[in-house]
Structure 1
Amino acid sequence: MMTLMKSADTYYQTNLTTDINYLKGVGPQRGNALKKYGIENIGQLLHHYPRRYLDRTNIKYIRETKLGEEAVIIGKITSFGMKQARKRRFFQMSLSDSTGHLTCIWFNSISWIVDKFQVGDSIAVFGKLEFRKGFQIVHPEFDILEKGEDPVNTGKILPQHPSTAALKAVGLEGRGFRRIISTALDLVVDDIEDYFTQEFLQEEGLYSLHKALKGVHNPDNIEFLKKAVYRLKYDEHFFLQLLMALKKQAMELKIGRVFLKRGKYEKDIFKSLDFSLTDSQINVLKDIRNDLAQKSPMNRLIQGDVGSGKTIVAVLAAAIVISHGSQVAIMAPTEILAEQHYISFLKFCEPVNINVALLIGNQKKAEKEEIYSNLKSGKIQLVVGTHALIQENVNFKDLGMIIVDEQHRFGVEQRKALIDKGYSPEVLALTATPIPRTLAFTIHGDMNISIIDELPKNRRPIITKVVEPDHMDKVYDFMRKEMYAGQQCFVIYPIIEESKKM
């Protein structure tokens, strides 16, 4: 009988893989909300990191705040309830500190909030200050504080975890998350195994994994928090680099084809140039030729500012592959960029009789069908396109190289779909995104990197100016003058949602 009891105790012992429903303080209702959010077990809960912290350094008194600024304010709830304004109902909560009063208002999705507050509760609110019959914050984030949690009076650092309306509806906002995560840390303290040896941790000056998790969820002081965050960031970079190294090794073990000779097309394009390549462009071309001469397929990123001459390098690289009888595909993230690349490649390729085509989403069906047929037969030697290139009905006779512009705009599966249309094709990626060299090696660790770090000679310098709103009239006058002279002006706005057109 004793053995059976021991077996049962062992069976129900809480560990990192324990279903989140069975953690004390969770239960079915909260568990279902957490699972919909993506937290299935205790291990995943412990890796639900705070997105900000409350401490003495980032909290303001009401009288210290300014209109339009975002601030964290701690006070006592003085009143709350539903209000009516014309045809609209809203929830209003008022709080005060020793310096003044503040009103908080919620208009939408307020069903979860009406039972949250009690008069006299200590509460921290975060949001942008407005003024309407007094200071107010519309739809603030908030955190109800327990006794002894006030950072101003205790010096305590309070984590604030990401939440949603569905989680808040079951009591999983700041305070709720702190409680269940604290319980989880106590229960699985012996179950958190470190990836690294004790000797390695000491050499690198790292906290243990358990200490780091405790530090981000319940830090004793700022220094403890910084070291805990450093350990978790170290893990992310370490495993990212490990993954990149494995991917690079797998790429090097692949057997591709050798494109050893420069070929007629590259020589003809090179002779037709009415400008000289920079030393930087020549060095990058040497890198590419060396890659193409190897049995393993090329996997190289070219980084360079706009106007540095990445396109002509890509054209010459493509010409080498086409000279060997293979096809090249250039994939751009938007139709506008694809059309620009098509015009650029056509300029260099058409005079030497390389057949170039454009494939984008808004072409007519008959036009697309003809392109599909010519790609399959090999008549089209180089195609420029968008995501349209990875459709199932796009087939190549012999895809030897793919060139991807701004590859971070594509998903891994999208790039793989294009690669799979050839037999271990050479991969060349282009980017104008200014990435510091060390960061580039971090996020593109599976690729070889070449940098074009000088502009072509006689290139007019780009002048960048920041203009205050009060001086915009001068900008408009300058634009009118340039347009009257036959020049063009572009006004660029940030895009709100992703678009395949723009």
Structure 2
Amino acid sequence: MGGGSLEASDKIKVIKGIGDKTEKVFHKLGIETVQDLLEHYPRGYEEFERPVPISSLTEGITASIEAGIAMTPKLKKVRNLQIVNVQVKDSSASMYLTWFNMPFLQKSLRSGYHYIFRGKVVRKNGVLVMEQPGIYQKESYYKLLRILQPVYPLTEGLTNNMVTKAVKQILSELSFAKDYIPKSITREYGLMDRTKAIREVHFPKDRDSMMNARQRLVFDEFFLYILALRKLKEKRTQQHSEYRMQECEECDQLIRQFPYQLTNAQLRVWQEVKHDLQGDFVMNRLIQGDVGSGKTVLAILALLMAAKNGYQACMMVPTEVLAKQHYKSLTEMLVSFGIRTCLLVGSMTAKEKRETYETIKSHSVDLIIGTHALIQEKVEYDNLALVITDEQHRFGVKQREALMNKGGHPHVLVMSATPIPRTLAIILYGDLDISIVDELPAKRLPIKNCVVDTNYRPNAYRFIDKQVAEGRQAYVICPMVEESDEIEAENVMEYTDRLRETLATQVVVEYLHGKMKPKEKNDVMERFANGEIHVLVSTTVVEVGVNVPNATVMMVENAERFGLAQLHQLRGRVGRGEFQSYCIFVCGSSSRDAWERLEILNKSNDGFFIAGEDLKLRGPGDIFGIRQSGEMEFKLGDIFQDASILKAAADAVKKLSDREVDKIFEADPGLENKILHKGTGTL
């Protein structure tokens, strides 16, 4: 970047209007430099239309009304929220408007005055309400008609207006943005100039130019990621193994001890893993398998083989609750083979951690199960020969690297339940060999699905009551609210209150949302896993990464707002035990397309089929919908809906010579680290 007075690497404090306090709020979103802010892309756009009569409003839409304040606004406190309510009126009808944590509106909205309000229409206690609407004077509103206004991801203390102003200032002083892609490629693939793309993605001239800008920036993300994988693969390829293992009888013994027979797919993949562990070169393998296909069994066999060969091995999982569950079941399963296991998670006391570090360093334990606490600097392993990561997208490529560097060059096994079509998986996991477990254990009962409208809720609640009375448990996933964490938390808490009133008195209902402290989340998940909570109301913000075989019902509100792949992941939280499980998708939309999409889930429990169908259904306009894939959080790109751009970027990288690749990285020595560690979200 050059020409203006701002540099890409400048701290955001150089921007007018950003002081110490605001800087800290930006830091919460990971925005520290001018470059970070430029890459804080809109999550959507508002296109302002002419105001409509209140009487024409329907649930679920975002609309504008021109109305007068009919009464003095009321302020009430609910838990830690301050809520302002006011009644407004036009010639057709009246309605209530609600704002969260904006108490000053009580004084600034005056009875009799007319404004234009724009917001989302929701149904609360049977009546339509507009939540968190923007407030405009008539004159300024009409200036905004038909212009695409960026809507940014926010956090508490940050408004859309603050982000917009800061980005505008950067762009006014930006003459060109750093471009890593060779000119020959931008020409061949007809890509927009990068500097223009950055301007247009923030403040587009029109929808077409926004789409072209987005296409260019998504191409860049994918291109750089695949490029970095190519470098990684070069480093790893043909890396001689320091840990060649011998076949061990104990693995066959364990297979015979399992209370079920392994599927042919499991046996095939076990042979592949075993072959890698016994070979001359370091294993870098991904096991991809649908939810419930039995990947964990393969991990246990690999861990046992490493331990019986005299080495240490570790398994890293995304949540503490899951780590504790794995630790407990592994300890019970492997104790008869003389295997010593230990647990290492962030919530342990300093003393517990110190003692655990000591046992690991002295090789008093063979297997270490934990969360990302496993890659802290203080952990020293003794002959770490195998590293397994579960749900790989929760850890980045960089975190895998950090674990690998703890040993010499340990074998790496990555497990993922996200059913990505094979063609995309080969690109995205370019540094790994891929094994697919494409068969479900015979004893698993297929989940029974139903797609229903909101009128079905009373029946669903009765059904949940009945399941709990039979000793089962249920999840209810609340609709996602994107405006702010506060509203999302409030929605979950309100829904929980409503369920407590509706369900039988002995049913214990608790909630889980993104605003809770990690300790509180862990506590709720543990109580749910132990059966003390019967119904868990949650947002998808929270990783429900826990194995609860007793949970038999998954109810998803506003299912139409999720990608099919994500809904399939949620559904995988049930059907893990011997009982029949059910998934209820509640569709809050009357659109035929929404129902047709959900019908795919109704008809199939096969994640790979669903992921493929999901890809076919995406139209080019479906860009700023809900993030479709929890896997691989790029900043803008989505591996499902942008599959064609992903393939084009992979082709482009293939065409580059090694010298051209080296030149790109030589021009910016920190680039590889930036791409794999930060530049693409959680990668």
Inter-partner Cα distance in structure 2 for 1:49 and 1:187: 18
8 Å Cα contact 1:82/1:92 also seen in 2: no
Q: Which residue of 2 aligns with 1:489?
A: 472
Once the 2 structures are TM-superposed, how far is the Cα of residue 453 of structure 1 from its aligned partner?
Answer: 0.5
1:287 aligns with 2:279: no
More moved, 431-440 vs 316-325 = 431-440
One-letter amino acid of the structure 1 residue matched with residue 266 of structure 2: Q
Q: Which residue of 2 aligns with 1:315?
A: 300
- Equivalence for 2:130: 137
Separation of aligned partners in 2, 1:86 and 1:328: 55
Corresponding position of 1:464? 448
Correspondence for 1:329: 314
- The corresponding residue for 1:158 is 149
Alignment partner of 2:143 out of 149, 156, 159: 149
Change (3 A) 1:354 1:419: farther
- Could you say what secondary structure the match of 2:473 adopts? coil
Does 2:287 align with 1:302? yes
Which whole-Å CA distance do the structure 2 matches of 1:19 and 1:399 have between them? 40
2:44 matched to 1:52?
A: yes
Equivalent position of 2:408 in the other structure: 423
Work out whether 1:229 is the aligned partner of 2:214: yes
Q: For 1:169-224, what per-residue CA distance to the aligned partner results, in whole angstroms no more than 9, with x for missing partners?
A: xxxx44x7666755654553x42354334442232132111332232233233222
Count of aligned positions: 468
Are the counterparts in 1 of residues 342 and 368 from structure 2 also a CA contact under 8 Å?
yes
CA distance in 2, matches of 1:446, 1:116: 58
Q: 1:295 to 1:20 in 2, by over 3 A?
A: same
- Report the secondary structure of 1:430's partner residue: strand
Once superposed, what is the RMSD of the aligned Cα atoms?
A: 4.7
Change (3 A) 1:424 1:469: same
In 2, distance between residues paired with 1:219 and 1:366?
55
Contact 1:82–1:90 (8 Å) recurs in 2: no
Q: Secondary structure at the match of 2:287?
A: strand
Instruction: Work out the CA distance in 2 between the residues paired with 1:346 and 1:86.
Output: 52
Give unpaired runs (5+ residues) of structure 2.
478-511, 526-683
Aligned mate of 2:341, from 357, 362, 366: 357
Superposition TM-score, scaled by structure 2 size: 0.56
Give the aligned partner of residue 4 of structure 1.
none
Any conservation in 2 of the 1:327–1:401 contact (CA below 8 Å)? yes
**Equivalent in the alignment of 1:202:** 187
Calculate the TM-score normalised by the size of structure 1: 0.72
Output one character per residue of 1:81-104: Cα deviation in whole Å (capped at 9) or x when no partner.
985668999878887778666665
- Within 5 A, what are the aligned runs for 1:123-134? 123=116, 125-129=118-122
Matches within 5 A, 1:387-466: 389=374, 395-410=380-395, 418-441=403-426, 443-456=428-441, 458-466=442-450
- 1:121-180 per-position Cα deviation (integer Å, ceiling 9, x unaligned): 975522345689x975343345677476342xxx33333345667555xxxx44x76667
DSSP-derived class of the 1:220 partner = coil
How far the C-alpha of 1:304 sits from its partner, in A, is 1.9
- The corresponding residue for 1:381 is 366
> Are residues 1:259 and 2:250 paired?
no
Once residues 289 and 87 of structure 1 are traced to their aligned partners in structure 2, the CA distance between those partners, rounded to angstroms, is: 61
Deviations 1:204-248 (A, max 9, x none): 132111332232233233222222222222222222222233333
Aligned residue identity for 1:359: L
Cα distance in 1 between the residues matched to 2:252 and 2:11: 65
CA distance in structure 1 between the partners assigned to 2:13 and 2:321 by the alignment: 50
Instruction: Report the AA paired with residue 157 of structure 1.
Output: L
Partner of 2:387: helix, strand, or coil?
Answer: strand
C-alpha separation in 2, matches of 1:334 and 1:216: 35
SS in 1 for 2:187: helix
Contact in 2 for aligned 1:19/1:40 (Cα 8 Å): yes
Residue matched to 1:5: none
Q: Distance in 2 between matches of 1:369 and 1:339?
A: 18
Query: In structure 1, how many angstroms separate the alpha carbons of the residues matched to 2:296 and 2:372?
Result: 20
The one-letter amino acid of 1:491's match is A
Q: Name stretches of at least 5 consecutive residues in structure 1 with no aligned partner.
A: 1-10
CA distance in structure 1 between the aligned counterparts of 2:158 and 2:198, rounded to whole angstroms: 22
Give the counterpart letter for 1:210 in structure 2.
Answer: T
Larger Rg: 1
Cα displacement string for residues 17-44 of structure 1 (whole angstroms, at most 9, x for unaligned residues): 477677xxx63x3566764425666655
Cα distance in 2 between the residues matched to 1:342 and 1:213: 47
Matched AA of 2:177: I
- Distance of 2:94 and 2:191 partners within structure 1: 45
CA distance in 2 between partners of 1:365 and 1:178 (Å)? 43
Gap change, CA 1:343 and 1:41, over 3 Å in 2: closer
Deviation for aligned residue 1:72? 2.9
**Residue 270 of structure 2 aligns to a residue in which SS?**
helix
Q: What's the CA shift for 1:302?
A: 1.5
Aligned 8 A contact 2:313 2:385 in 1: yes
Whether the 8 Å CA contact 1:262–1:323 is kept in 2: the answer is no
* Matches of 1:323 and 1:291, distance apart in 2: 16
- Amino acid in structure 2 at the alignment position of 1:137: M
Q: Distance in 1 between matches of 2:153 and 2:323?
A: 39
Asked whether the 8 Å contact 1:206–1:231 carries over to 2, the reply is: yes
Q: Which residue is 2:64 aligned to?
A: 73
- 227, 232, 255: which one aligns with 1:247: 232
For 1:335 and 1:435, locate their aligned partners in 2 and report how far apart those are by CA, in whole Å. Answer: 26
Q: Distance in 1 between matches of 2:53 and 2:417?
A: 45
Q: Distance in 2 between matches of 1:318 and 1:439?
A: 29
* Distance of 2:36 and 2:331 partners within structure 1: 52
Partner of 2:568: none
From the superposition, tell whether residues 179 and 319 of structure 1 become closer, same or farther in structure 2 (CA, over 3 Å): closer
Find the counterpart in structure 1 of residue 635 from structure 2: none
Distance 1:43 1:367 in 2: 41
Sequence identity (%): 30
Distance in 1 (CA, whole Å) between partners of 2:253 and 2:271 is: 18
Q: 1:48 to 1:58 in 2, by over 3 A?
A: farther
Q: Give the 3-state SS of the residue equivalent to 1:265 in structure 2.
A: helix
Structure 1 residues 33 and 360, CA gap change in structure 2 (3 angstroms): closer
CA drift of 1:454 comes to: 0.8
